[in-house]
């Protein structure tokens, strides 16, 4: 059987092509009530994040004031104004995880990745975030990497966990 890998075309899409797609989304949604959040979701999906220039583009195309667009982007935590890494690590800081060493996990990850919470490694591999309880309190402390949950994590296990993503 052939092992030719299919290459995703998204990464090759130029800035201009992405903006054209976002403009199409805006044309489709802008007349609908409460469409700004939907437009922002779609734009983030296409562009990866919502930098100020893109917020200006959206404000311009929708006729919604930039202050309102930026207000929505900063209000909701699922919108990001910085590019995200290939993998997102989230450390639970709910009560159980916090008490059982969640903070040490963060400190170790900051050291290993050489970034702060909210930042992305220079190779674009990881973004580090914190989150609230994910319901794995009995096996705290917990972290997630993308959709995978790691339970009873201790700082010494982290290097091995990160290696799975290289």
Contact 47, 54 (CB under 8 A): yes
When the beta carbons of 134 and 162 are compared against ligand FES, the nearer one is: 134
Contact 58, 40 (CB under 8 A): yes
CA pair distance 46, 10, nearest whole angstrom: 9
Helix (H, G, I), strand (E, B) or coil at 155: helix
The only residue of 72, 134, 145, 161 in contact with ligand FES, by rule CB under 6 A? 134
Which one of the spans 9-17, 28-36, 38-46, 135-143 is the region binding ligand FES (CB under 6 A)? 135-143
Touching ligand FES, residues 51-90 (CB under 6 A): none
CA pair distance 148, 25, nearest whole angstrom: 31
Phi, psi (rounded to 5 degrees) for 120: -120, 140
Q: Is the peptide bond before 141 cis (omega within 30 degrees of 0)?
A: yes
Which one of the spans 20-28, 62-70, 92-100, 157-165 is the region binding ligand FES (CB under 6 A)? 92-100
- Total interface residues for ligand FES by CB under 6 A: 12
The only residue of 42, 91, 142, 153 in contact with ligand FES, by rule CB under 6 A? 142
The only residue of 64, 72, 96, 145 in contact with ligand FES, by rule CB under 6 A? 96
> Least Å distance between CB 99 and ligand FES?
8
């Amino acid at each position: 059987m052939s092992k030719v890998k299919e290459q995703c075309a998204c990464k090759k899409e130029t800035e201009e092509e992405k903006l054209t797609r976002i403009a199409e989304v805006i044309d489709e949604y802008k007349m609908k009530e409460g469409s700004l959040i939907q437009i922002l979701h779609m734009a983030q999906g296409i562009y990866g994040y919502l930098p100020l220039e893109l917020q200006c583009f959206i404000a311009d195309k929708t006729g919604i004031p930039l202050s309102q667009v930026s207000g929505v982007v900063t209000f909701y935590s699922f919108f990001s104004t910085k590019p995200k890494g290939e993998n997102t690590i989230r450390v639970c800081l709910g009560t159980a995880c916090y008490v059982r060493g969640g903070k040490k996990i963060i400190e170790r990850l900051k050291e290993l990745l050489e970034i702060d919470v909210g930042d992305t490694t220079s190779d674009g591999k990881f973004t580090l975030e914190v989150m609230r309880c994910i319901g794995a309190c009995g096996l705290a402390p917990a972290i997630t990497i993308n959709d995978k949950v790691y339970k009873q994590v201790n700082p010494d296990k982290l290097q091995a966990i990160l290696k799975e993503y290289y």
